[in-house]
Amino acid sequence: MLLTLLFYGVNSIFSQEWQVVTETNYLTTEAYSSGGVIELSNGNLLSSAEYYIKSEPQEYYYSVSPAIRLFSGNGEIIAQNNFFQAGYCISGCSQYVFEKDNNVYLLTAYSPEHTPDSFNNFANFDNPPCDAKLVLFKLDNQLNLEKMYEHSWPIDTFEARNKPEWQIFPNGYSGNIFLFSAFEDDGNIVGAYWKSVSYDRPSRGLDTLFMFRMSFDGEMLLKKEIKYYDSDSNDWNGLNIDRSRAEGQQYVFRANHFVATDSCYIFYESSDGNSDEYYIEGTASYYDKDFNFIRERYLRGPDCLINDELYNISVKRSNHNTTYLTTQKRNPKNPHHDEDSRLYEINDDINAASEFLEVVNHTDRGTEEWDLSSMYLGVDLREYNSIYYTYTMYVGYYGNLDSWICIDNLDNNLNKIKTLYYGMDDRHHDRVINVKTTNDGGVIIIHSADDLDSDKGYNFVTKFPASAFLNIEEAHAHNLKLAVAYPNPGGDVMNIRTGLRNATLSVYDMQGRKIHEQEITDDVTSIDASKWESGTYVWKLGIRNEELGMKCVESGKWVK
Q: Which residues contact 415 (CB under 8 A, 6 or more apart)?
A: none
At 423, which amino acid appears?
G
Least confident of 53-67, 116-130, 242-256, 281-295: 242-256
Q: What is the mean pLDDT of residues 243-265?
A: 76
Compare 425 and 237 and report the one with higher pLDDT. 425
pLDDT one-digit tens code per residue, 427-486: 788 899 999 999 988 999 999 988 888 878 889 999 999 888 888 888 888 888 999 898
Helix (H/G/I), strand (E/B), else coil: 473: helix
Q: What is the mean pLDDT of residues 505-528?
A: 92
Q: Is the pLDDT of residue 288 over 80?
A: yes
Kindly give the pairing relationship between strand 549-559 and strand 208-214. unpaired
Residue 378: its H or E element = none
Contact 399/412 with Cβ under 8 angstroms?
no
Highest mean pLDDT among 247-251, 253-257, 259-263: 259-263
Paired with 137 in beta bridges are: 106, 148
Q: How confident is the model at residue 304 (pLDDT cuts 50, 70, 90)?
A: low
* pLDDT the model gives residue 301: 62
Paired with 516 in beta bridges are: 507
* pLDDT the model gives residue 384: 65
Q: What is the mean pLDDT of residues 527-547?
A: 89
- The span from the CA of 318 to the CA of 300, in Å, is 20
Cis-peptide into 170, omega within 30 deg = no
Q: How confident is the model at residue 130 (pLDDT cuts 50, 70, 90)?
A: very high
The DSSP symbol for 450 reads: E
* pLDDT the model gives residue 279: 59
Number of H-type helices and E-type strands within the chain:
2, 39
C-alpha distances in Å from residue 335, one per residue of 131, 305, 308, 340: 42, 8, 8, 10
* pLDDT the model gives residue 11: 34
Task: Give how far the C-alpha of residue 225 lies from the chain's centroid of Cα atoms, to the nearest Å.
Answer: 26
Helix (H/G/I), strand (E/B), else coil: 264: coil
Highest mean pLDDT among 197-201, 243-247, 312-316: 312-316
Q: How confident is the model at residue 336 (pLDDT cuts 50, 70, 90)?
A: low
Question: Phi, psi (5° rounding) for residue 40?
Answer: -85, 165
> In the chain, what percentage of residues exceed pLDDT 70?
85
Q: Is the pLDDT of residue 524 over 80?
A: yes
Domains, the chain, ordered by start: 254-373 (no CATH), 491-560 (2.60.40.1220)
> In the chain, what percentage of residues exceed pLDDT 90?
52
Helix (H/G/I), strand (E/B), else coil: 557: strand
Contact 260/183 with Cβ under 8 angstroms?
yes
Helix (H/G/I), strand (E/B), else coil: 184: strand
pLDDT one-digit tens code per residue, 381-429: 987 668 999 999 987 776 777 789 999 999 888 988 889 999 876 778 8
Q: Is the pLDDT of residue 499 over 90?
A: no
Contact 458/24 with Cβ under 8 angstroms?
yes
Q: How confident is the model at residue 13 (pLDDT cuts 50, 70, 90)?
A: very low
Its sign, for the CA torsion 523, 529, 532, 536, is: positive
Q: Is the pLDDT of residue 34 over 90?
A: yes
Q: Which residues contact 148 (CB under 8 A, 6 or more apart)?
A: 135, 136, 137, 138
* pLDDT the model gives residue 23: 82
Q: What is the mean pLDDT of residues 504-523?
A: 92
* pLDDT the model gives residue 252: 75
* pLDDT the model gives residue 59: 85
Highest mean pLDDT among 89-93, 260-264, 519-523: 260-264
Q: What is the mean pLDDT of residues 157-170?
A: 86
pTM, two decimals, is 0.88
Q: What is the mean pLDDT of residues 352-374?
A: 90
Q: Is the pLDDT of residue 240 over 70?
A: no
Q: Is the pLDDT of residue 560 over 80?
A: yes
Q: Is the pLDDT of residue 217 over 90?
A: yes
- Residue-averaged pLDDT of the chain: 85
Contact 153/195 with Cβ under 8 angstroms?
yes
At 73, which amino acid appears?
G
